Chains A and B, each alone.
Chain A
Amino acid sequence: MTLLLIIAAGCIEPHDNSSTLEPVSANHWQDMNNTLHTFVSIVDHEMDNITISVCNAARELDGVPIDDPSVNLTLLKLRRDVPFSFDVCRVDKNNTLVAITGELQNQWMVGTCQMTHQYTEEDFNTTNNECIITEFCTFQSGERGVMIIAPVYDVDGNYDGTLRLQLDVEYLFAGLVEYLRTEYGYTTWVVEKNGMKIYDEDTVEIGMNLTTNHLFQTNSTMSMVSNVLRNKSGNTSYIFYTTGWSDHTQINIVWDTVYPGYGAEWRIIVSDNVVQYTPEDRPQITSEELKNFVQKAYAYVQRVGKEEALAEFNDPNGDFINGELYIFAYDMNGTLLSLPYQPDLVGTNLWFMKDMSGVNPVQRAIARAEQGGGYVYYLYLNPSMDYVKEFKLSYVMAVDNDWFIGSGIYLHEVPFSHTYNLNIENGGKLISQVRNMQYLSKVENISSVVDMVEDPKSAVYIEGLYPFVLTENGTVLAYSRNPAIDDTNQLGKTNSYGMSGVREVISLAQAGGGMMYSLVWDSTTQHENYVLIYVEPGDKSTYFGSMLILE
């Protein structure tokens, strides 16, 4: 994030220290290469599974009229099977969108939206039956990723348009990188052959072109970029910023190439530029102290006005910085207004920024601020701990209907704060389960899904996950973890931080769905558990969700 802001503002001058490169031992290269080969095979495997799923779905659509109800079911099933997807759509041969997933948000586009990426039958004649994978792009929703596209044919075998899946590359690699870090102690970034970075742990670097961005114009970095883009595999060293952007260091990388589909050539880079977490015995700021700090800032804003207050919040030597505690501010559209440790990010819109679990910190904070204020959880870089990612509890308050302020504390004592316990498989299962409920509700109906949720022999059951169904009014229709609360209204239920999980789930579902953290009372263990929740709308008044306990 810090990097993104600094880059966006262009205020850091490239620093050339290429003469200070130290030799790297053969053992280190060997270790990195071994890791790379394992990692590349995992990426290959994941992308193979995804493209095969897209191709199979396209074959299911062959010969099916565009207005047939089974088209939507096929799209929903594919979206369920590829949890790293945003949406799936069917496009006719005139390049008009004719069906798309997304119960509440996307249906207005059907029949009216012309696709930016246009393909004809001739395009697919050259692909040798492979899916086409586009370059990294921004979708209609504003999310970013790549599109996986397969041709669809009519009953006579003639080209009849395409099936398209929007792939969330960031979420795909976010799970993989945690595995890489935990198992091998390395990190990764991924770049297209044209120099576009499509994944980096520092999400602000995603979408940056390494051949043109001024941060990569030193002799050392230009040499590295040229080397990586020209050669399909290799190793090199270069001088670049540390993760916290406070210093320079030698970074060693090895890379290889994967070909996930026709037209795509991704360099997978394994890097040893990893922040090491060193536990410190520091007193934990309490949630009450946090709340008081934000309330003090709120009163200050009301006294002095927006302009003067933001100047004070952005001042690294101001009264509103106290170690971990500082005031951040955003407008309700997600544009950053204050962040004293990363001032160059001010003015950047971070609406779509996600943490590694897929939780969107800014959107969650806005939703909480719009309730008048309260606590919210997410993973974020800790500037006072070398920018290592930690689990963060923030308190936010709306100043008025246009902007909000907040501050957060890092929960060092939470077991999964550093050695994060959510792997790609669990996150994917959570999404797949909810999307399966969505799919089954269309195949049968919502009542059938309600019945399935609490049945361990049903099609939606996955061990270790706890699905639920909720109405727009907060009534629980089914909750596999605690069936005793079925048919009760849970809007008023709060945790020890005053957070109403049900109100937040409804808010998230009405926004189209997504991931969120919460702290939920567990009647089985008789204590509160940190959980990760994924939710999506079933229809306009019913929401499907599932929960993973993080401890």
Chain B
Amino acid sequence: MSIKYRRKQSQREKRLVMTMFLGLAIMVILCVSLFAAFFGTEYVIDKSLEDPDVLLNVAVVGDDIIVTIYEGRRVDELLTLSVEIEGVTLPHSIASKPAPDNGSGEVLFVGACAGITGTRDVAVRGTFSNGRSLLLKLYTVKFT
């Protein structure tokens, strides 16, 4: 029977192995972070648009924008609604309104599209009782 002895690793070899291990770990962490940043954000936006917590519609009526809330898992948690129109800076008093008391219903943004013509994107955001703000809907609206 023969006894085999493992060769003792030098300090240099140990450092090399450790460096490789750490480098690999950092790369994995970076990849996961980047993946989450790119696809996770998109997923969250898509999810909020395709499977909405709050189902709504946006319509132009004269100078006003009417946001109609129909249903959704979180309509009861909705505190405020705000509209943003591409290329337009709306005063807070016009752009932000309280959500309907009973969850669903119409919210009127009086004068929100006064003088606005052409085709623009309109975003509707909601603020919920947990303090989070979420993009609820993004529309392309032809004002004229």
Identify which of A373, A374, A401, A506 gathers the most chain B CB atoms within 10 Å of its CB: A373
Q: Is the CB of A372 within 8 A of B115?
A: no
Q: Which residues of B contact A299 (CB under 8 A)?
A: 55, 70-71
Indicate which residue in A303, A370, A491, A494 contacts B141 across the interface (CB closer than 8 Å).
A370
**Residue of B whose beta carbon sits closest to that of A495:** B62
**Residue of A whose beta carbon sits closest to that of B51:** A302
Q: Which residues of A contact B58 (CB under 8 A)?
A: 372
Indicate which residue in B55, B57, B111, B115 contacts A373 across the interface (CB closer than 8 Å).
B57
Separation of A299 and B70 alpha carbons in the complex (Å): 7
Q: Is the CB of A491 within 8 A of B68?
A: no
| Shortest Cβ gap from B68 to chain A (Å) | 7
Identify which of B57, B65, B66, B71 gathers the most chain A CB atoms within 10 Å of its CB: B57
Q: Is the CB of A371 within 8 A of B57?
A: no
Q: Which residues of A contact B66 (CB under 8 A)?
A: 372
Beyond A295-B70, A473-B115, is A397–B57 a contact (Cβ under 8 Å)?
Answer: yes
B102 within 8 A of A: no
Q: Is the CB of B60 within 8 A of A371?
A: yes
| Shortest Cβ gap from A87 to chain B (Å) | 24
Q: Which residues of B contact A498 (CB under 8 A)?
A: 61-62
A221 within 8 A of B: no
| Shortest Cβ gap from B1 to chain A (Å) | 73
Q: Is the CB of B57 within 8 A of A372?
A: yes
Q: Is the CB of B115 within 8 A of A494?
A: no
Identify which of B70, B116, B142, B144 gathers the most chain A CB atoms within 10 Å of its CB: B144
Beyond A299-B55, A372-B57, is A367–B142 a contact (Cβ under 8 Å)?
Answer: yes
Q: Is the CB of B144 within 8 A of A510?
A: yes
Q: Is the CB of A371 within 8 A of B59?
A: yes
B100 within 8 A of A: no
Separation of A20 and B65 alpha carbons in the complex (Å): 61
Q: Which residues of B contact A298 (CB under 8 A)?
A: 57, 70
Which interface class (under 10, 10 to 19, 20 to 34, 35 or more) fits A?
20 to 34
Separation of A66 and B63 alpha carbons in the complex (Å): 47
Q: Which residues of A contact B139 (CB under 8 A)?
A: 372, 398, 401
Residues of B56-92 contacting chain A, CB below 8 A: 57-66, 68, 70-71
| Shortest Cβ gap from B136 to chain A (Å) | 12
Q: Is the CB of B141 within 8 A of A372?
A: yes
Separation of A220 and B101 alpha carbons in the complex (Å): 67
**Which secondary structure characterizes the binding site on chain B?**
strand
Separation of A295 and B116 alpha carbons in the complex (Å): 26
Q: Which residues of B contact A398 (CB under 8 A)?
A: 139
Separation of A115 and B71 alpha carbons in the complex (Å): 55
A219 within 8 A of B: no
Q: Is the CB of B61 within 8 A of A374?
A: yes
A493 within 8 A of B: yes
Q: Is the CB of A371 within 8 A of B141?
A: yes
Q: Is the CB of B117 within 8 A of A491?
A: yes
A441 within 8 A of B: no
Q: Is the CB of B117 within 8 A of A494?
A: no
**Residue of B whose beta carbon sits closest to that of A400:** B139
Q: Is the CB of B117 within 8 A of A371?
A: no
Q: Is the CB of A370 within 8 A of B142?
A: yes
Separation of A53 and B58 alpha carbons in the complex (Å): 49
**Residue of A whose beta carbon sits closest to that of B111:** A492
A500 within 8 A of B: yes
A211 within 8 A of B: no
Q: Which residues of B contact A90 (CB under 8 A)?
A: none
| Shortest Cβ gap from B72 to chain A (Å) | 9
Identify which of B52, B62, B65, B71 gathers the most chain A CB atoms within 10 Å of its CB: B62
Separation of A259 and B70 alpha carbons in the complex (Å): 60
B114 within 8 A of A: yes
Q: Mark A355-375, 1 if CB is under 8 A from B, else 0.
A: 000000000000100111110
Separation of A498 and B55 alpha carbons in the complex (Å): 22
B19 within 8 A of A: no
A474 within 8 A of B: yes
Beyond A473-B115, A474-B117, is A491–B59 a contact (Cβ under 8 Å)?
Answer: no
| Shortest Cβ gap from A364 to chain B (Å) | 13
B140 within 8 A of A: yes
Separation of A472 and B143 alpha carbons in the complex (Å): 11
**Residue of A whose beta carbon sits closest to that of B49:** A400
Q: Is the CB of A472 within 8 A of B59?
A: no
Separation of A474 and B143 alpha carbons in the complex (Å): 11
Indicate which residue in B55, B115, B119 contacts A489 across the interface (CB closer than 8 Å).
B115
Q: Is the CB of B117 within 8 A of A473?
A: yes
A507 within 8 A of B: yes
| Shortest Cβ gap from A362 to chain B (Å) | 15
Q: Is the CB of B141 within 8 A of A492?
A: no
Q: Is the CB of B115 within 8 A of A503?
A: no
**Residue of B whose beta carbon sits closest to that of A299:** B70
Q: Is the CB of B70 within 8 A of A500?
A: no
Q: Which residues of B contact A303 (CB under 8 A)?
A: 55
Q: Mark A183-200, 1 if CB is under 8 A from B, else 0.
A: 000000000000000000
Q: Mark A454-498, 1 if CB is under 8 A from B, else 0.
A: 000000000000000000111000000000000001011110001
Separation of A493 and B111 alpha carbons in the complex (Å): 12
**Residue of B whose beta carbon sits closest to that of A473:** B117
Beyond A473-B117, A491-B115, A492-B114, is A302–B55 a contact (Cβ under 8 Å)?
Answer: yes
Separation of A110 and B57 alpha carbons in the complex (Å): 43
Q: Which residues of B contact A401 (CB under 8 A)?
A: 139-140
Q: Which residues of B contact A371 (CB under 8 A)?
A: 59-60, 141-143
Q: Is the CB of B117 within 8 A of A506?
A: yes
| Shortest Cβ gap from B53 to chain A (Å) | 12
Q: Is the CB of A302 within 8 A of B52?
A: yes
Separation of A295 and B66 alpha carbons in the complex (Å): 14
Q: Which residues of B contact A507 (CB under 8 A)?
A: 142, 144
**Residue of B whose beta carbon sits closest to that of A397:** B57
Q: Is the CB of B117 within 8 A of A472?
A: yes
A–B Cβ pairs within 8 angstroms, 21 of them: A295-B70, A299-B70, A302-B55, A370-B140, A370-B141, A370-B142, A371-B142, A372-B139, A374-B61, A397-B57, A472-B117, A474-B144, A491-B63, A491-B114, A494-B61, A494-B62, A498-B61, A503-B117, A503-B144, A507-B144, A510-B144
Give chain A's interface residues, CB within 8 Å of chain B: 295, 298-299, 302-303, 367, 370-374, 397-398, 401, 472-474, 489, 491-494, 498, 500, 503, 506-507, 510
